[in-house]
Structure 1
Amino acid sequence: ILGFLGIFIYFLLENFALQFTQAANVGLYMGAIPLFTAIFAHFFTKDEKLSRSVVIGFLVAIVGIALILLDGASFQLRLKGDLLALSAAVVFALYSVALKLAPKGYHYIVITRKSFFYGLLLMVIYFLISGKSFHYHSLAITTVWLNILFLGLISSGLAFILWQQGIERIGSINASNYIYLVPLITAIAGIIALNEKLTLKMILGGVTILIGLYIAQKKSSQISN
């Protein structure tokens, strides 16, 4: 189930969404993951409940995310891509709650390894059935392998291991709230690594995100404790 939800379906929906809508739209819908996670956790777990502060924190943080992602651009609704992105957010929220409910007897690395194995297996099966072409000659390029290793080991493998540990230690709601920081960290990385311009909207967005995160964490952390 974890491999199906978090590895196969989530990445499939997110990548399809990027083909039909703007990256900013996808980023906004990903910002809804904490709210969806809180809703699912409220109904499917015994110790995590949806609180007013989680909802208020979401509303504040999503404004900050919009300020950063839509800086200099306008939001354009593209139904197909937006629905795919929204579906991806729902699926990842389900994955996070499923992680919370996973059997406690397994080591987190074992769970992550099995999830990736079955998720990758489903991806290969889908790839073969869909009949999509694959440019094998690209595997001879060193940069491609470096990208694959980084995405596989760091962005996916290590990130999912840390994500699972976070959920295990502080719960799915508290852990998911930190997703609000992704656009802020991305903007900072862009300024440092790509020499992108720092704008007033970015600053306001970052401050708003931090306020939203604080509000969301304040109440839910008391429930967790």
Structure 2
Amino acid sequence: MLVRINPASCPSDGHLAALTGERAFCSEFKYRRGMEIFGEGEDAEYVYQITSGAVRTCKMLPDGRRHINSFHLPGDMFGFENGATHRFNAEAIIETTVRITRRRNVLDAMTSREKGAMNLIGFVTQNLQHAENRMLLLGRKTSLEKVAAFLLEMDQRQDHPDMMILPMNRRDIGDYLGLTLETVSRALSILRDQNLLRLGGATQRRVELLDRDELARLDA
């Protein structure tokens, strides 16, 4: 069931604050795990910011495989398109709350703010850098290097916590890195046996990075 929490003006933070200022007119919705937020080919009328939970954007390939394009974490915005429709599906990985605002509201707020255009350039540049890094990740790295790079990416995006909690499962990670579930599991086991990380929790999604420098050397 989709729950609408707040249909009024709400405080903004993260990317939304940088683009629109302190407040933006938006609604909050809560999605259960696995629920679709928008589908490929639907009108790209709204943009979204995560306040809690996590989202994956993905599409099914003609051969039946799933390709995950991005993971979005609290504070991230997603749903921006350079066309009129969405190129990917967006799904809640776990129970997730998002703020939704019309794309036009964001554009209007940006044009009325002195730093709006500059912040938009920064936002677009950040996304381009992520796309470039992802191309290198998929095309030029071994499976072990891919998993090390992924863990460092999640560690950086979560501000280097003592214990990192991954919202996505190993199949999600594999579909993001272009690897099988078994290959991801094997790489994590190798990194654990090399004392580079420690895994915990019933689903092994609690990850403590023990040697970030060595992981970075692997990634390099």
TM-score by shorter chain over 0.5: no
TM-score of the aligned structures, taking structure 2 as reference length: 0.33
TM-score of the aligned structures, taking structure 1 as reference length: 0.32
Which structure shows the higher strand fraction? 2
